[in-house]
A = this chain, B = another copy of it.
Amino acid sequence: MANHVVPYQVAPSPDGKGLTRAVTGRDHTGALQEIRVVEERPLTIFLNSREIVTAMTIGDYPDYLALGFLRNQAMLSDADEVTGVDYDEELRVVVVRTAVETDHEEKLAKKTRTSGCAVGTVFGDMMEELNGLTLPPAQIKTTDLYALAAKINTTDSLYLTAGAIHGTVLCQGADPLVYMEDVGRHNAVDKVAGWMHATGAMAADKTLYTTGRLTSEMVMKCAMMGIPALASRSGFTAWGVELAQQVGLTLIGRMRGQRFICLAGEERLIWDANLSDVADEPRKASRKGARG
């Protein structure tokens, strides 16, 4: 396989200041042991003057997280001009400002008064958005999938340093471009979405790789981002598969070594890899778990 190395546009920060902390405990032999653990902090996201949600996050890229969350919840559209994103590190607050107050805010305000919590209603809005959506029919080569997995699994990351963290990687062809990590797996995806929004990146030629499970929420976010393929080492939920089939998303899971299974959009997969070129993994071994 040609090792044409495209550098990351955003790489993980395994040594990032304030992202991990050394903690001392005792191991199975009773000996003192120091390990690094990831940080986890609340971050409250505002859209203009309205408080939207408090996310538990590792704390990097609060601006991308806020933008991506609002985009993926359909609370911010291409038509909304973002005039600024202000982050107050001390208050742990990030405010996304738009030129015109969005009607999403008004909708949210109305609904939360009657329903008690925004989670259910926002969810309803996402389902509405998805109903009209069909993703572009991009083809995916299995050689690219194997190359991506190999590159991602050997990239220095917070996961390799401290564990207990999820990763989401925006990829193009055989190249991982943007690798975000977070304690909340949805945050990692939202940070990628925020980066795409801020940089105006194209979605139709991308593949998204996640370490998390392929649940309904993960599929919805990928579809909201306009990305036509989603791959993971982890497994599926039935609703995740159903939604992927509905919007035309190619959904690949349980990707370990040579093995994977594609449960939606398999007509767009091109099996061009010679399996004898791909290193296999023992069936039970895993860098990352099937849970998420």
A residues with a Cβ closer than 8 A to B are 20-21, 23-30, 33, 35, 37-42, 44, 50-54, 56, 108-109, 112-113, 115-120, 123, 142, 159, 162-166, 183, 185, 211-217, 234-241, 254, 258-264, 266, 269, 271, 275, 282, 284-292
Contact = CB atoms under 8 A, between A and B. Distances in A.
What 4 A-B pairs have minimum CB-CB distances, sorted nearest first? A289-B289, A164-B235, A54-B120, A40-B237
19 contacts: A25-B264, A25-B266, A26-B261, A26-B262, A27-B259, A27-B260, A37-B238, A40-B215, A40-B237, A53-B117, A54-B120, A112-B113, A164-B236, A164-B237, A164-B290, A164-B292, A165-B291, A212-B291, A288-B291
Majority DSSP secondary structure for residues of A touching B: mixed
Contacts of A164: 213-215, 234-237, 290-292
A275 B288 CA distance: 26
A41 to B, nearest CB: 7
Q: How many copies does the complex hold?
A: 2
A117 B123 contact: no
A116 B50 contact: yes
Nearest to A288: B289
A25 B216 contact: no
B120 A266 contact: no
Given A27-B261, A38-B237, A183-B237, 17 more contacts: A20-B238, A27-B259, A33-B261, A37-B235, A40-B216, A51-B115, A54-B119, A112-B112, A117-B118, A159-B291, A164-B215, A165-B291, A183-B215, A185-B291, A284-B286, A284-B287, A291-B292
A56 B120 contact: no
A258 B28 CA distance: 7
B212 A51 contact: no
Contacts of A263: 23-25, 35, 37
Contacts of A275: 28-29
A86 to B, nearest CB: 18
Give the interface centre of A50, A53, A234, A236 by most chain B CB atoms within 10 Å: A236
A60 to B, nearest CB: 14
